[in-house]
């Protein structure tokens, strides 16, 4: 089916609009946009700059995608936003283009749910199946791995990495990396326990959950280093791939600066 563009919308003739796209009234789509089939821009959506949006995304009123990075050093390069498939982007969400400091791309994967008034800053990289709840703010260069959940009004510092299946409590101030499978909360956010509910919902076995929980206990309550925890877990036959991910993540974090592995990129 051909694309539908409301009479009240403006779509630059240079934009690439695939079949079955629906662009509602008062949307503005700039010349650098590429929008995949089945994507629906409800109304009052603004797409500016070099933006590639995949298939079957649903973007709600007031969203602005592709605005220039809010970075004082930005010199106007042709950086971009790339968004995958089957994402829900609710009212008032803002996604900025990348700065000139990394690979020139702000990236959002597939099957993500960005709730109202969330902000994705320049150079962020979101995996797939993440939830970014209402009013959450991601600083520049933040990486969020698959299946992570940020509760409402979470603020994430520049260069933070949030591991897969992690859960962030509401109103948290996240200034350190968040290891995979962990639940963190507070100001600043600290690991409290593992994300048991999230792991069960995603069909992790009781054995896998127990192994991850033991890794958490050794590192955060036993105060062991990742290498010491690895030796202990190996003796108990609990050194699974998930546990190894936790240990390597924590080691990378400790090798970084200010509790953030990727903070070293700032100086570079």
Q: What amino acid positions are annotated as catalytic residues?
A: 122-123, 140
The tokens 């933006």 sit on which residue? Answer: 51
The length of the chain in residues reads 268
Q: Count of CB atoms within 10 A of residue 141's CB?
A: 25
HEC assignment per residue over the chain: CCCEECCCCEECCCCEECCCCEECCCCEECCCEEECCCCEECCCCEECCEEEECCCCEECCCCEEEECCCCCCCCCCCCEEEECCCCEECCCCEEECCCCCCCCEEEECCCCEECCCCEECCCCEECCCCEECCCCEECCCCEECCCCEECCCCEECCCCEECCCCEECCCCEECCCECCCEEEEECCEEEEEECHHHHHHCCCCHHHHHHHHHHHHHHHHCCCCHHHHHHHHHHCCCCCHHHHHHHHHHHHHHHCECCEHHHHHHHC
Residue 218 and residue 81: Cα distance in Å, rounded? 40
């Amino acid at each position: 089916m051909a694309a539908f563009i409301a009479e009240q919308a403006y779509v630059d003739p240079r934009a690439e609009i695939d079949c079955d796209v629906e662009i509602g009234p008062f949307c503005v789509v700039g010349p650098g946009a590429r929008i995949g089939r089945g994507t629906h821009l409800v109304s009052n959506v603004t797409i500016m700059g070099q933006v590639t949006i995949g298939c079957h995304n649903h973007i709600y009123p007031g969203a602005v995608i592709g605005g220039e990075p809010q970075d004082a050093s930005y010199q106007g390069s042709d950086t971009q936003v790339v968004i995958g498939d089957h994402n829900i982007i609710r009212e008032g969400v803002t996604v900025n283009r990348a700065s000139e400091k990394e690979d020139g791309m702000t990236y959002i994967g597939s099957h993500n749910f960005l709730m109202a008034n969330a902000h994705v800053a320049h150079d962020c990289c979101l995996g797939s199946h993440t939830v970014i709840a209402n009013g959450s703010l991601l600083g520049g260069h933040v990486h969020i791995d698959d299946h992570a959940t940020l509760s409402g009004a979470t603020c994430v510092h520049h260069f933070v990495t949030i591991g897969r299946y992690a859960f962030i409590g509401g109103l948290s101030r996240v200034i350190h990396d968040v290891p995979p499978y962990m639940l963190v909360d507070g100001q600043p956010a600290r690991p409290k326990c593992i994300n048991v509910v999230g792991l069960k919902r995603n069909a992790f076995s009781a054995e896998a959950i127990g192994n991850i929980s033991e890794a958490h206990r050794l590192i955060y309550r036993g105060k062991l280093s990742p290498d010491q925890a690895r030796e202990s877990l190996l003796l108990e036959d609990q050194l699974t791939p998930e546990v190894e991910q936790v240990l390597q993540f924590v080691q990378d974090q400790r090798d970084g600066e200010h509790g953030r592995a990727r903070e070293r990129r700032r100086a570079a």
